[in-house]
Amino acid sequence: MQILSKSQEVTADNLANINTPGFKGNKVFYHMLKENVDGEEVVKTVPKQQIDLTQGILEPTGNVFDIGIDGDGFFVVQENGQQYLTRDGRFHLDSDGYLVNSYGANVIGTSGEIQLPEYYMANNDGGTSSQLLIAKDGTIRVDELAVDKLQLLKVDDPALLQRKGSSYFTVENTTALSEVDTGVIMQGFYEKGNVEPLNEMVDMMKNMQMFETQQKAMRTSDEILSRVTSQLGKL
């Protein structure tokens, strides 16, 4: 019942983030754990959860600052001195010309925090607009001049990812991170969450049915033990 409760909690969180851009759902699996209790080996079933890195749908927007990743990898953003991994590529320029996400975190490129002051000024002074192009390898060009490149990182073992909120991830051991050579940058798109509502609803109903079955089994066991105890008391 504890395992089913954990599974239901994860399913509810997945459903709550259906519309969160770049959201990666959680999967629950069961781990058999052996423990020594009073000299006897006891096998316990422990619920574990892992982040599902399945590709989400890339939604076209036409916005030059909406950037999706087709394939492996995460964007790197920095907020309050801490770096995070994210698949949410809805970016924009702040008043200083820095590329930031919807939370105001700076997007990191190969040269550090990405700043596009020339593009910002050209498109906000009423003059001729500049053109911003982001290549499939993440190279950022303003009027055909390369100014920076988006940093994309991947982690080989998804179990190392630690969720921080609905959009951010961290990895405690940074040596487990490496640069991506397979992910493709898609300008004018953002990645939708990878949660399948129908599958989650089916899982939720299954969990509820199994939970109720376990409740009935426990209730029946209690009743039988109560009767046995009562009969033994009479003897």
pLDDT tens-place string over residues 57-74:
999 999 999 999 999 999
Q: Determine the pLDDT at residue 47.
A: 64
111 and 139 share one domain: yes
105 and 152 share one domain: yes
Give the C-alpha separation, 225 to 39, whole Å: 27
Q: Determine the pLDDT at residue 137.
A: 94
Q: Determine the pLDDT at residue 127.
A: 55
Tally the domains of the chain. Answer: 2
65 and 33 share one domain: no
Residue 142 has pLDDT above 70, yes or no: yes
82 and 182 share one domain: yes
Give the C-alpha separation, 87 to 101, whole Å: 11
Q: How confident is the model at residue 165 (pLDDT cuts 50, 70, 90)?
A: confident
Q: Determine the pLDDT at residue 61.
A: 95
Q: Which of 77, 187, 190 is nearest to 132 (CA)?
A: 187
Instruction: Return the half-sphere exposure (C-beta side, CA atoms, 13 A cut-off) of residue 218.
Output: 7
Alpha-carbon torsion 23, 24, 25, 26, what sign? negative
pTM: 0.77
Residue 81 belongs to domain spanning: 58-191
70 and 178 share one domain: yes
21 and 86 share one domain: no
Contact 130, 137 (CB under 8 A): no
29 and 11 share one domain: yes
Residue 35 has pLDDT above 80, yes or no: no
> What Cα–Cα distance (Å) separates residue 185 from each residue in 2, 57, 106, 200?
42, 14, 18, 29
Which of 159, 176, 191 is the endpoint of a domain? 191
230 and 175 share one domain: no
Residue 126 has pLDDT above 70, yes or no: no
75 and 116 share one domain: yes
Q: How confident is the model at residue 125 (pLDDT cuts 50, 70, 90)?
A: low
For 162, the enclosing helix (H) or strand (E) is strand 161-164
